[in-house]
Amino acid sequence: MTGIQASGKSTVAQAVAERLERSVHVRGDVFRRMVVNGRVDMGPANPPEEAVRQLRLRYQIAAAVADQYASAGFAVVLQDIIIGIHLADMVSAINHRPLYVVVLAPSAEVVRAREDARRLAHGKVAYKPGDQDVAELDASFRRDTPRIGLWLDTSGQDVGQTVNEIIARLWREAKVT
């Protein structure tokens, strides 16, 4: 499950996992935060090479962990910000099939509103000064990400509606090879 920051991935992924039996929710961001010294994060429009290297490593690790749980019979929801060419790379990095891709694509206005609400409620900020702003990131995300899997405009939905739609459409419409 992918989407830009504050697109609702974490909440929706957890809710989908809870609807499935014997399920796992692998949060890719966890592997970024495991780096203690030498961490270089993505963020600016032109990230340093080391940031991209660390991003790729994080995706490979998330894919390996998802494969481990899947091969042991778990339904796995792997959730991370995987945009542009990285989405195709991730699909190849995951060995397990069947594989389903869900892209959460609420409108940039909804993402910005969610981000503002989040900032007021918890002080949690996905978009820091210097990062691409929401509109810019949303545009490049829509322009550069391959159209695979199930793309959902979740703008008008609450979490329950999004989860219901995913469960209803996943098996037929989200499958990738």
Partner 1 sequence: MTAALESGSSDDPAMAFLAVVTGPPGAGKSTVAHALAARFDHSVLVPGDAFFGFLAWDAIVPWLPAADSQNEIVIRAAAAATGRFVAGGYATVYDGVLGPWFLPDFAAEAALDHLRYIILLPSVEQCVDRVANRLGHGFTDEDATRQMYREFARADINERHVLADLRGPADGTAAEIARRIQGGTLRYP
Binding site for partner 1 (CB under 8 A): 14, 17-18, 20-27, 30-31, 34-38, 50, 53, 57, 60-61, 64-65, 67-69, 72, 74, 77
Which of residues 14 and 107 has its CB atom nearest to partner 1 in the complex? 14
* Collapsed DSSP state (helix, strand, coil) of residue 46: coil
* Collapsed DSSP state (helix, strand, coil) of residue 81: coil
Which of residues 56 and 175 has its CB atom nearest to partner 1 in the complex? 56
Burial of 103 (0-12, 13-18, 19+ CB in 10 A): buried
Q: Which among 156, 173, 165 has a CA at the least distance from the CA of 16?
A: 165
Which of residues 93 and 113 has its CB atom nearest to partner 1 in the complex? 93
Type of residue at 4: I
CA distance 42 to 62: 17
Which of residues 53 and 97 has its CB atom nearest to partner 1 in the complex? 53
- Write down the least CB distance from residue 128 to partner 1, Å: 23
- Write down the least CB distance from residue 122 to partner 1, Å: 17
- Write down the least CB distance from residue 79 to partner 1, Å: 10
Q: Could you give the maximum distance between any two Cα atoms of the chain, in Å?
A: 43
- Write down the least CB distance from residue 2 to partner 1, Å: 17
CA distance 136 to 40: 22
Q: How many residues does the chain have?
A: 177
Which pair of tokens denotes residue 115? Answer: 């981000």
- Write down the least CB distance from residue 40 to partner 1, Å: 10
Which of residues 6 and 26 has its CB atom nearest to partner 1 in the complex? 26
Say whether the peptide bond before residue 98 is cis (omega within 30 degrees of 0): yes
